[in-house]
Amino acid sequence: MTVRRSTPLVVGGVCVSLVVIVAVLALVLPRAEGGPDPGELPALAASRGIELGVAVAVDPLRDDPAYRDLVADHYTSVTAENTMKWEHVQPERGRFDWSGPDTVVDFAVENGLDVRGHTLLWHNQQPAWLSEGSYDADGLRAIMREHMEALLGRYQGRVSSWDVINEPFVDDGPELRGNLWLDTLGEDYIAQALTMAHEVDPEAELYINEFNVEGPGPKADALYALASDLLERGVPLHGVGLQGHFVHGTVPDDLARNMARFSDLGLDVEISELDVRIPEPVTEAAVAEQGEEYRRVVEACLEVERCSGVTVWGVTDAHSWIPEWFPGHDAALPFDPSYRPKPALNGMAEALGRRRRPS
Protein backbone atom coordinates (compact mmCIF):
# COMPACT_ATOMS: atom_id res chain seq x y z
CA MET A 1 0.00 0.00 0.00
CA THR A 2 1.17 3.51 -0.75
CA VAL A 3 1.56 6.35 1.72
CA ARG A 4 0.00 9.69 0.93
CA ARG A 5 2.56 12.37 0.17
CA SER A 6 2.50 15.60 2.13
CA THR A 7 0.68 18.55 0.55
CA PRO A 8 2.56 21.86 0.34
CA LEU A 9 1.01 25.00 1.81
CA VAL A 10 2.01 28.44 0.65
CA VAL A 11 2.15 30.91 3.52
CA GLY A 12 3.61 34.34 2.84
CA GLY A 13 5.36 32.95 -0.20
CA VAL A 14 6.99 30.16 1.78
CA CYS A 15 6.19 26.51 1.00
CA VAL A 16 5.62 24.55 4.21
CA SER A 17 5.02 20.81 4.43
CA LEU A 18 1.98 19.60 6.33
CA VAL A 19 4.19 16.91 7.79
CA VAL A 20 6.36 19.58 9.43
CA ILE A 21 3.30 21.37 10.82
CA VAL A 22 1.94 18.14 12.29
CA ALA A 23 5.31 17.34 13.86
CA VAL A 24 5.40 20.74 15.54
CA LEU A 25 1.86 20.31 16.84
CA ALA A 26 2.81 16.96 18.29
CA LEU A 27 5.57 18.57 20.31
CA VAL A 28 3.31 21.16 21.94
CA LEU A 29 0.22 19.03 22.51
CA PRO A 30 0.01 16.66 25.50
CA ARG A 31 1.54 13.39 24.39
CA ALA A 32 -0.88 10.43 24.44
CA GLU A 33 -3.25 12.42 26.69
CA GLY A 34 -6.12 10.18 27.72
CA GLY A 35 -4.50 7.11 26.19
CA PRO A 36 -2.39 4.29 27.62
CA ASP A 37 0.86 5.33 29.28
CA PRO A 38 4.07 4.83 27.28
CA GLY A 39 5.06 1.19 27.54
CA GLU A 40 1.64 0.02 28.74
CA LEU A 41 0.46 -1.51 25.47
CA PRO A 42 3.73 -3.38 24.78
CA ALA A 43 3.68 -4.79 28.31
CA LEU A 44 0.08 -5.93 27.96
CA ALA A 45 0.74 -7.50 24.55
CA ALA A 46 3.78 -9.34 25.91
CA SER A 47 1.75 -10.62 28.85
CA ARG A 48 -0.79 -12.07 26.40
CA GLY A 49 1.87 -13.63 24.17
CA ILE A 50 1.14 -11.61 21.04
CA GLU A 51 2.82 -8.90 19.00
CA LEU A 52 1.15 -5.52 18.69
CA GLY A 53 2.75 -4.09 15.59
CA VAL A 54 2.58 -1.04 13.37
CA ALA A 55 3.52 -0.24 9.78
CA VAL A 56 6.02 2.59 9.55
CA ALA A 57 6.96 5.09 6.84
CA VAL A 58 10.62 5.92 6.37
CA ASP A 59 10.56 9.73 6.24
CA PRO A 60 8.81 10.42 9.57
CA LEU A 61 10.65 7.52 11.20
CA ARG A 62 13.93 9.14 10.20
CA ASP A 63 13.03 12.81 10.71
CA ASP A 64 10.30 13.11 13.35
CA PRO A 65 11.15 12.36 17.01
CA ALA A 66 7.48 12.47 18.06
CA TYR A 67 6.59 9.84 15.44
CA ARG A 68 9.43 7.62 16.62
CA ASP A 69 8.26 7.97 20.22
CA LEU A 70 4.72 6.86 19.33
CA VAL A 71 6.09 3.72 17.70
CA ALA A 72 8.53 2.83 20.48
CA ASP A 73 6.09 3.66 23.28
CA HIS A 74 3.03 1.79 22.02
CA TYR A 75 4.07 -1.16 19.82
CA THR A 76 6.20 -4.30 19.96
CA SER A 77 6.99 -4.77 16.27
CA VAL A 78 7.27 -2.82 13.03
CA THR A 79 6.53 -3.56 9.39
CA ALA A 80 8.00 -1.52 6.56
CA GLU A 81 4.95 -0.02 4.86
CA ASN A 82 6.62 0.47 1.48
CA THR A 83 10.39 0.58 1.58
CA MET A 84 11.03 -3.19 1.27
CA LYS A 85 8.90 -3.50 -1.86
CA TRP A 86 10.62 -4.17 -5.18
CA GLU A 87 10.33 -0.69 -6.71
CA HIS A 88 12.04 0.83 -3.67
CA VAL A 89 14.63 -1.75 -2.74
CA GLN A 90 15.73 -2.83 -6.26
CA PRO A 91 14.80 -0.01 -8.67
CA GLU A 92 17.26 -1.34 -11.23
CA ARG A 93 18.32 -4.94 -11.60
CA GLY A 94 21.23 -5.61 -9.33
CA ARG A 95 21.19 -2.12 -7.76
CA PHE A 96 19.76 -2.21 -4.26
CA ASP A 97 18.82 0.80 -2.17
CA TRP A 98 19.18 -0.16 1.49
CA SER A 99 18.68 3.31 2.96
CA GLY A 100 14.98 2.85 3.73
CA PRO A 101 15.06 -0.75 4.96
CA ASP A 102 18.13 -0.02 7.08
CA THR A 103 16.30 2.91 8.69
CA VAL A 104 13.43 0.63 9.71
CA VAL A 105 15.50 -2.32 10.87
CA ASP A 106 18.09 -0.22 12.72
CA PHE A 107 15.31 1.64 14.56
CA ALA A 108 13.70 -1.65 15.54
CA VAL A 109 16.94 -3.15 16.83
CA GLU A 110 17.77 0.00 18.80
CA ASN A 111 14.33 -0.07 20.47
CA GLY A 112 13.99 -3.80 21.03
CA LEU A 113 11.19 -4.25 18.48
CA ASP A 114 10.49 -7.23 16.25
CA VAL A 115 10.43 -6.74 12.46
CA ARG A 116 8.05 -8.21 9.87
CA GLY A 117 9.31 -8.14 6.29
CA HIS A 118 6.87 -6.90 3.66
CA THR A 119 6.79 -8.08 0.89
CA LEU A 120 8.56 -10.45 -1.55
CA LEU A 121 6.14 -11.36 -4.37
CA TRP A 122 3.30 -8.95 -5.19
CA HIS A 123 1.60 -7.84 -8.38
CA ASN A 124 1.97 -4.16 -7.47
CA GLN A 125 4.80 -1.63 -6.94
CA GLN A 126 7.23 -3.40 -9.25
CA PRO A 127 10.04 -1.51 -11.01
CA ALA A 128 9.66 -1.10 -14.76
CA TRP A 129 12.63 -3.35 -15.50
CA LEU A 130 10.76 -6.19 -13.81
CA SER A 131 7.13 -5.56 -14.79
CA GLU A 132 7.93 -4.72 -18.42
CA GLY A 133 10.60 -7.36 -18.93
CA SER A 134 10.25 -10.62 -20.83
CA TYR A 135 11.40 -13.73 -18.98
CA ASP A 136 11.15 -17.45 -19.29
CA ALA A 137 10.60 -19.55 -16.18
CA ASP A 138 14.29 -20.12 -15.45
CA GLY A 139 15.09 -16.45 -15.92
CA LEU A 140 12.34 -15.30 -13.56
CA ARG A 141 13.32 -17.85 -10.92
CA ALA A 142 16.89 -16.55 -11.11
CA ILE A 143 15.62 -13.00 -10.52
CA MET A 144 13.54 -14.18 -7.57
CA ARG A 145 16.55 -15.87 -6.00
CA GLU A 146 18.81 -12.86 -6.55
CA HIS A 147 16.25 -10.62 -4.86
CA MET A 148 15.63 -12.96 -1.93
CA GLU A 149 19.30 -13.65 -1.32
CA ALA A 150 19.99 -9.93 -1.22
CA LEU A 151 16.98 -8.86 0.88
CA LEU A 152 16.49 -11.81 3.22
CA GLY A 153 20.22 -12.35 3.44
CA ARG A 154 20.91 -8.77 4.54
CA TYR A 155 18.40 -8.92 7.38
CA GLN A 156 18.72 -12.55 8.40
CA GLY A 157 18.44 -12.77 12.16
CA ARG A 158 16.88 -9.30 12.40
CA VAL A 159 13.65 -9.82 10.44
CA SER A 160 11.72 -12.66 12.04
CA SER A 161 8.93 -13.14 9.48
CA TRP A 162 8.20 -12.33 5.85
CA ASP A 163 5.10 -11.83 3.74
CA VAL A 164 6.44 -14.00 0.95
CA ILE A 165 3.24 -13.98 -1.11
CA ASN A 166 1.07 -10.87 -1.02
CA GLU A 167 -2.49 -10.84 -2.35
CA PRO A 168 -2.37 -13.92 -4.61
CA PHE A 169 -6.14 -13.90 -5.25
CA VAL A 170 -8.27 -11.47 -7.23
CA ASP A 171 -9.85 -8.67 -5.20
CA ASP A 172 -13.29 -10.17 -4.61
CA GLY A 173 -13.14 -13.80 -5.64
CA PRO A 174 -11.44 -17.18 -5.20
CA GLU A 175 -9.42 -17.17 -8.44
CA LEU A 176 -5.67 -16.69 -8.44
CA ARG A 177 -4.71 -13.23 -9.65
CA GLY A 178 -3.03 -12.96 -13.03
CA ASN A 179 0.42 -11.49 -12.52
CA LEU A 180 4.02 -11.81 -13.67
CA TRP A 181 4.66 -14.75 -11.38
CA LEU A 182 1.54 -16.76 -12.25
CA ASP A 183 1.78 -16.03 -15.96
CA THR A 184 5.42 -17.16 -16.15
CA LEU A 185 5.72 -19.92 -13.55
CA GLY A 186 2.15 -21.19 -13.27
CA GLU A 187 0.17 -21.84 -10.09
CA ASP A 188 3.15 -23.47 -8.43
CA TYR A 189 4.92 -20.10 -8.16
CA ILE A 190 3.60 -19.81 -4.60
CA ALA A 191 5.21 -23.07 -3.48
CA GLN A 192 8.41 -22.24 -5.35
CA ALA A 193 8.69 -18.82 -3.70
CA LEU A 194 8.07 -20.18 -0.18
CA THR A 195 10.62 -22.95 -0.71
CA MET A 196 13.18 -20.50 -2.05
CA ALA A 197 12.69 -18.08 0.84
CA HIS A 198 13.11 -20.92 3.33
CA GLU A 199 16.35 -21.96 1.65
CA VAL A 200 17.69 -18.41 1.98
CA ASP A 201 16.58 -17.88 5.61
CA PRO A 202 15.61 -21.17 7.30
CA GLU A 203 14.78 -19.41 10.59
CA ALA A 204 12.26 -16.90 9.23
CA GLU A 205 8.51 -17.45 9.56
CA LEU A 206 6.95 -17.35 6.09
CA TYR A 207 3.46 -15.98 5.41
CA ILE A 208 0.82 -15.59 2.74
CA ASN A 209 -0.89 -12.20 3.20
CA GLU A 210 -4.35 -11.45 1.78
CA PHE A 211 -7.34 -9.08 2.09
CA ASN A 212 -11.11 -9.63 1.94
CA VAL A 213 -10.61 -12.95 3.75
CA GLU A 214 -11.35 -11.84 7.30
CA GLY A 215 -14.81 -13.42 7.35
CA PRO A 216 -15.90 -16.72 5.80
CA GLY A 217 -16.63 -16.69 2.08
CA PRO A 218 -15.38 -18.01 -1.27
CA LYS A 219 -12.10 -16.07 -1.16
CA ALA A 220 -11.35 -17.10 2.43
CA ASP A 221 -12.20 -20.69 1.49
CA ALA A 222 -9.77 -20.49 -1.44
CA LEU A 223 -7.00 -19.25 0.86
CA TYR A 224 -7.77 -22.07 3.30
CA ALA A 225 -7.65 -24.64 0.48
CA LEU A 226 -4.34 -23.21 -0.78
CA ALA A 227 -2.80 -23.30 2.68
CA SER A 228 -4.03 -26.86 3.27
CA ASP A 229 -2.58 -28.03 -0.05
CA LEU A 230 0.79 -26.40 0.60
CA LEU A 231 1.04 -27.97 4.03
CA GLU A 232 0.09 -31.41 2.70
CA ARG A 233 2.91 -31.08 0.16
CA GLY A 234 5.44 -30.13 2.82
CA VAL A 235 5.91 -26.58 1.54
CA PRO A 236 7.40 -24.29 4.23
CA LEU A 237 4.39 -22.13 5.05
CA HIS A 238 4.21 -20.98 8.67
CA GLY A 239 1.34 -18.51 8.78
CA VAL A 240 -1.32 -16.47 7.05
CA GLY A 241 -2.00 -12.77 7.42
CA LEU A 242 -5.57 -11.54 7.21
CA GLN A 243 -5.05 -7.89 6.39
CA GLY A 244 -8.05 -6.27 8.09
CA HIS A 245 -8.65 -3.15 6.01
CA PHE A 246 -12.16 -2.50 7.30
CA VAL A 247 -14.75 0.17 6.60
CA HIS A 248 -16.37 1.45 9.79
CA GLY A 249 -19.22 -0.89 10.68
CA THR A 250 -17.93 -3.93 8.76
CA VAL A 251 -15.71 -5.82 11.23
CA PRO A 252 -17.14 -9.36 10.92
CA ASP A 253 -18.67 -11.00 13.97
CA ASP A 254 -17.14 -14.33 12.96
CA LEU A 255 -13.57 -13.04 12.63
CA ALA A 256 -12.24 -15.27 15.42
CA ARG A 257 -13.98 -18.36 14.05
CA ASN A 258 -12.52 -17.78 10.60
CA MET A 259 -9.04 -17.25 12.04
CA ALA A 260 -9.35 -20.42 14.12
CA ARG A 261 -9.67 -22.69 11.12
CA PHE A 262 -6.23 -21.58 9.90
CA SER A 263 -4.88 -22.05 13.41
CA ASP A 264 -6.34 -25.55 13.42
CA LEU A 265 -4.13 -26.36 10.42
CA GLY A 266 -1.12 -25.68 12.64
CA LEU A 267 -0.49 -22.24 11.12
CA ASP A 268 0.07 -18.97 12.89
CA VAL A 269 -2.51 -16.39 11.90
CA GLU A 270 -2.48 -12.65 12.40
CA ILE A 271 -4.31 -9.47 11.54
CA SER A 272 -1.54 -7.99 9.46
CA GLU A 273 -2.71 -4.57 8.19
CA LEU A 274 -5.46 -3.30 10.47
CA ASP A 275 -7.20 0.00 9.84
CA VAL A 276 -10.85 1.07 10.09
CA ARG A 277 -11.65 3.89 7.68
CA ILE A 278 -14.58 6.17 8.40
CA PRO A 279 -16.73 7.79 5.68
CA GLU A 280 -16.58 11.58 5.69
CA PRO A 281 -17.73 13.68 7.39
CA VAL A 282 -16.03 11.98 10.32
CA THR A 283 -18.10 12.36 13.50
CA GLU A 284 -17.17 12.00 17.17
CA ALA A 285 -19.68 9.17 17.43
CA ALA A 286 -18.02 7.27 14.59
CA VAL A 287 -14.58 7.73 16.15
CA ALA A 288 -15.91 6.39 19.46
CA GLU A 289 -17.47 3.38 17.70
CA GLN A 290 -14.18 2.81 15.90
CA GLY A 291 -12.59 2.30 19.30
CA GLU A 292 -14.96 -0.60 19.91
CA GLU A 293 -14.05 -2.06 16.52
CA TYR A 294 -10.34 -2.00 17.32
CA ARG A 295 -11.15 -3.66 20.66
CA ARG A 296 -13.15 -6.40 18.94
CA VAL A 297 -10.33 -7.17 16.50
CA VAL A 298 -7.75 -7.55 19.26
CA GLU A 299 -10.19 -9.65 21.29
CA ALA A 300 -10.71 -11.91 18.28
CA CYS A 301 -6.97 -12.47 18.04
CA LEU A 302 -6.79 -13.32 21.73
CA GLU A 303 -9.55 -15.91 21.32
CA VAL A 304 -7.46 -17.87 18.78
CA GLU A 305 -4.68 -20.03 20.16
CA ARG A 306 -2.23 -19.42 17.32
CA CYS A 307 -3.01 -15.80 16.58
CA SER A 308 0.47 -14.31 16.70
CA GLY A 309 -0.52 -10.65 16.72
CA VAL A 310 -2.21 -7.59 15.31
CA THR A 311 -0.41 -5.01 13.16
CA VAL A 312 -1.96 -1.57 12.63
CA TRP A 313 -1.37 -0.22 9.11
CA GLY A 314 0.09 3.18 9.93
CA VAL A 315 1.04 5.27 12.95
CA THR A 316 -1.15 8.38 12.63
CA ASP A 317 -3.87 9.78 10.40
CA ALA A 318 -1.31 12.34 9.23
CA HIS A 319 0.56 9.61 7.31
CA SER A 320 -2.27 7.28 6.36
CA TRP A 321 -2.65 5.79 2.89
CA ILE A 322 -6.46 5.87 3.20
CA PRO A 323 -7.40 9.36 1.85
CA GLU A 324 -5.41 8.83 -1.34
CA TRP A 325 -6.68 5.33 -2.08
CA PHE A 326 -10.21 5.70 -0.71
CA PRO A 327 -11.36 9.29 -1.32
CA GLY A 328 -14.21 10.25 0.99
CA HIS A 329 -12.78 8.19 3.87
CA ASP A 330 -10.35 9.15 6.61
CA ALA A 331 -9.44 8.82 10.31
CA ALA A 332 -8.56 5.10 10.09
CA LEU A 333 -5.77 4.90 12.69
CA PRO A 334 -5.34 5.09 16.50
CA PHE A 335 -3.64 8.52 16.51
CA ASP A 336 -5.10 11.65 14.92
CA PRO A 337 -3.19 14.04 12.59
CA SER A 338 -1.87 15.95 15.64
CA TYR A 339 -0.56 12.68 17.12
CA ARG A 340 -3.20 12.61 19.85
CA PRO A 341 -4.59 9.20 20.88
CA LYS A 342 -8.07 8.22 19.75
CA PRO A 343 -10.50 5.72 21.31
CA ALA A 344 -8.99 3.03 19.06
CA LEU A 345 -5.84 3.04 21.19
CA ASN A 346 -7.85 2.64 24.38
CA GLY A 347 -9.90 -0.08 22.71
CA MET A 348 -6.79 -2.16 22.08
CA ALA A 349 -5.60 -1.57 25.63
CA GLU A 350 -8.98 -2.62 27.02
CA ALA A 351 -8.93 -5.86 25.03
CA LEU A 352 -5.40 -6.70 26.11
CA GLY A 353 -6.16 -5.83 29.72
CA ARG A 354 -9.16 -8.08 30.18
CA ARG A 355 -8.94 -10.92 27.67
CA ARG A 356 -6.63 -13.88 28.35
CA ARG A 357 -5.44 -16.39 25.81
CA PRO A 358 -7.14 -19.82 25.69
CA SER A 359 -5.30 -22.37 27.80
3-state secondary structure of 142: helix
- Long-range contacts at 174-180 (CB < 8 A, ≥ 24 apart): 174/218, 174/219, 174/221, 174/222, 175/222, 177/123, 179/123, 180/123, 180/126, 180/130, 180/131, 180/140
CA dihedral sign of residues 78, 55, 187, 153: negative
DSSP bridge partners of 165: 121, 208
CA dihedral sign of residues 206, 81, 300, 51: positive
Q: List strand residue ranges (DSSP E) for 84-198, in order.
A: 114-121, 161-166
Look up residue 37 and give its amino acid: D
Question: How many alpha carbons lie under 13 Å from residue 29 in its C-beta half-sphere?
Answer: 18
DSSP state of 318: G
The rounded distance, in Å, linking the Cα atoms of 153 and 225 is 31
Active-site residue among 81, 270, 273, 293? 273
Q: Is 167 a catalytic residue?
A: yes
Closest CA to 44 of 307, 353, 355, 312: 353
Q: Is 187 a catalytic residue?
A: no
CA dihedral 305, 273, 248, 326 (to 10 degrees): -160
Active-site residue among 81, 167, 205, 214? 167
Describe the crossing of helices 255-264 and 284-303 by its angle, rounded to 10 degrees.
30
Question: What's the Rg (C-alpha) of the chain?
Answer: 20
Q: Torsions phi, psi of 217, nearest 5?
A: 165, 175
Query: CB–CB of 42/75 below 8 Å?
Result: yes
Query: CB–CB of 196/190 below 8 Å?
Result: no
Write out the catalytic residue numbers.
167, 273
